[in-house]
Amino acid sequence: MNTTENNTSEVTETDTARLAPVPSGPSSRWLLVGLSAAAIGLGIAIYSGIHERAQAESTLGVRTERAAVPTVTVVQPTSGAATQEIVLPGDTQAFNNTPIYARTNGYLKRWYVDIGTHVQQGQLLAEIDTPEIDQQLEQARADLKNAQANEQLAQITAARWQSLLKTNSVSKQETDQAVTDLSARQASVDSMTANVHRLEQLQSFEKVYAPFAGVITARNTDIGALINAGAGGVPQELFHMAAVNKLRVYVAVPEVDSLAAQNGATATLTLDEFPGEIFQGTIVRNSKARLVRDGSVVADNLTITTLRRFKDDANEVRAGFECGVGVSNFSDVKVGDILECFKIEKTAAPELMNVADRARAQESAEARRN
């Protein structure tokens, strides 16, 4: 009986404890608030992670699409700079640089150009008074008229003797003499005519004309000066002309760079007188030459026939080396002579009258003006 009572009492106490109400104090509220805050923070963290992942996937997709499109840069092709540039000093000279001499003796009557004057081809530069040539020309013309009269008489005589020979009125010997005399008179007329033409040509040299278009660089005479054409003395240079529309540039190329100087290659030229400007030129190796002695050309339009380096034939010799040069149709080479090579260029030019016809035309024009 005691055991049953004890069990009954334990069960009653336990059930009573279970059925007792839970105390509702301040600690329960704070617990609920903490749980709610933790749930909200966890939700926010989950949402942020999902949103960042979605945004990263979207950004990755955009970048992938952009990377799939090829990017092309369009540029204009230009010629690159030279792999190697050689800058060398050069000597600039006129393409034609010629002294003007007189071809007849006399006194300077008048000059029309001075230093710095630009002249055209065929322009009158000066006039020379040649009274001796004028008198000789008049005498030659008179002799020509005399010879022509004798020729006419000999022609009539020969015709008459040939007519008489048909009737045996004269001998064959006399007829042959008349015919031979006619031939001699005709030859005399031809000789006199040639002499008149020679003196007319000398008289035409009274007027000095420009051989090409250029600039007068020197005038070495004046009115009244004695002009010596070289007969019995040293000829005097009247003018000096230079053609500056085209220039020659002489450059000493070092041996190590000589192979780069090919015929027809293009070179650029800069001048201190024209800063910032670049001129184009062409490198030329020529086979023509002329010989210059004491500043004057003594042989022109020569052809280089042989070129030797030591004992071997050579096609070219580099600058600074000794060589042997042979030219055609000229052997009077002296110490100090300069051999200049050049290239002949043919250009279309208007047909010019000869010197005598040009002088006559100018004299006629002056007479009409007077």
β-pairing, 90-101 vs 237-251, is antiparallel
- Chain centre to alpha carbon of residue 358: 33
Q: Is residue 155 part of a domain?
A: yes
Query: Rounded CA gap, 107 and 112, in Å?
Result: 15
Nearest in space to 208 (alpha carbons), one of 246, 248, 247, 235: 235
CB atoms within 10 A of CB 323: 13
User: How many structural domains comprise the chain?
Assistant: 1
CA distances in angstroms from 8 to 18, 40, 248, listed in the order given: 16, 49, 142
Nearest in space to 224 (alpha carbons), one of 88, 110, 55: 110
At residue 330, what are phi and psi to the nearest 5 degrees?
Answer: -160, 130
Residue pair 203/130 in contact by the 8 Å Cβ criterion: yes
Q: Is residue 21 part of a domain?
A: no
β-pairing, 124-129 vs 312-313, is unpaired
Query: Rounded CA gap, 140 and 134, in Å?
Result: 10
Q: Is residue 314 part of a domain?
A: no
At residue 279, what are phi and psi to the nearest 5 degrees?
Answer: -110, 145
CA distances in angstroms from 39 to 28, 30, 36, 46, listed in the order given: 17, 14, 5, 11
CA distances in angstroms from 43 to 29, 31, 37, 47, 48, listed in the order given: 21, 18, 10, 6, 9
Residue pair 97/211 in contact by the 8 Å Cβ criterion: no
Query: Rounded CA gap, 144 and 50, in Å?
Result: 131
Query: Rounded CA gap, 356 and 363, in Å?
Result: 11
Q: Is residue 7 part of a domain?
A: no
**pLDDT single digits (tens) 123-181:** 999 999 988 888 888 999 999 999 889 888 888 888 888 888 888 888 888 888 888 88
Domain CATH code at residue 140: 1.10.287.470
Residue-by-residue pLDDT tens, the chain, 370 positions: 444 444 444 444 444 444 444 444 566 777 777 777 888 878 787 877 787 888 888 887 777 777 777 777 777 777 665 556 778 888 888 888 889 988 888 889 999 999 989 999 889 999 999 888 888 889 999 999 998 898 888 888 888 888 888 888 888 888 888 888 888 888 989 999 999 998 888 888 888 999 889 999 999 989 988 888 765 667 788 999 998 887 788 888 787 777 777 777 777 888 787 777 777 766 554 456 777 888 777 777 777 666 666 666 555 665 555 677 777 677 777 777 777 766 655 544 444 444 455 555 555 545 444 4
Q: Is residue 120 part of a domain?
A: no
Q: Is residue 341 part of a domain?
A: no
**pLDDT single digits (tens) 18-37:** 444 444 456 677 777 777 78
Q: Is residue 55 part of a domain?
A: no
Q: Is residue 332 part of a domain?
A: no
Query: Rounded CA gap, 143 and 196, in Å?
Result: 9
215 has which bridge partners? Answer: 118, 242
Query: Which residues constitute the domain of residue 135?
Result: 131-205
Beta strands in the chain (DSSP E): 90-101, 106-111, 118-119, 124-129, 207-209, 214-219, 226-227, 237-251, 266-269, 279-282, 288-293, 296-309, 312-313, 324-327, 338-342
Residue pair 326/335 in contact by the 8 Å Cβ criterion: no
Query: Rounded CA gap, 295 and 317, in Å?
Result: 25
Q: What is the DSSP letter of 71?
A: P
